[in-house]
């Protein structure tokens, strides 16, 4: 089972609904990481093999192009208008469809937006 970590900017209704759906999901403020840097949060998730769910596009940049290249797994929510039910449905569908990538790869950024899912894995440098 894929274990998740919700960033502090994740809407509480998404967090609650994912838990009700049976997802094992921690919450950044509940584990004492509220206000910490993106690097610290991503390092925490990576050390525990958690997939971070966030609306903060900086996480994608850190993994794909920045100092944390090739490390960590993030589901990045980039909806223009957030529909809670749709976002939860997309997250659950992503966990089903991309579970192998999220379970076996060391690094991935999956971007969810209206009607789209883009999977990014850093290529070898």
Q: Residue 68: left (phi > 0), alpha (psi -120 to 50), or beta?
A: alpha
Eight-state DSSP code of residue 31: G
* Beta partners for residue 111, in sequence order: 76, 118
Per-residue model confidence as pLDDT tens for the chain (125 residues): 899 999 999 999 999 999 999 999 999 999 999 999 888 998 899 999 999 999 887 766 655 555 555 678 999 999 999 899 999 999 999 999 999 989 988 888 899 999 899 998 765 44
Position 125 scores a pLDDT of 44
- Tokens in use for 52? 């971070």
What the chain holds in terms of domains, given with CATH numbers, is: 3-120 (3.40.50)
Position 65 scores a pLDDT of 55
CA 78 to CA 35: how far, in whole Å? Answer: 21
């Amino acid at each position: 089972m894929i274990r998740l970590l919700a960033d502090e900017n994740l809407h509480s209704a998404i967090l609650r609904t994912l838990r009700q759906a049976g997802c094992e999901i921690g919450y950044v403020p509940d584990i004492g990481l509220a206000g910490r840097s993106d690097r610290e949060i991503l390092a925490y998730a990576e050390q525990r093999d958690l997939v971070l769910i966030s609306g903060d596009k900086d996480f994608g940049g850190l993994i794909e192009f920045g100092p944390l290249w090739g490390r960590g797994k993030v589901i990045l929510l980039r909806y223009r208008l957030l529909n809670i039910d749709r976002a939860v449905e997309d997250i659950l569908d992503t966990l089903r469809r991309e579970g192998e990538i999220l379970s076996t790869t060391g690094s991935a950024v999956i971007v969810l937006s209206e009607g789209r899912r883009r999977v990014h894995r850093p290529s070898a440098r």
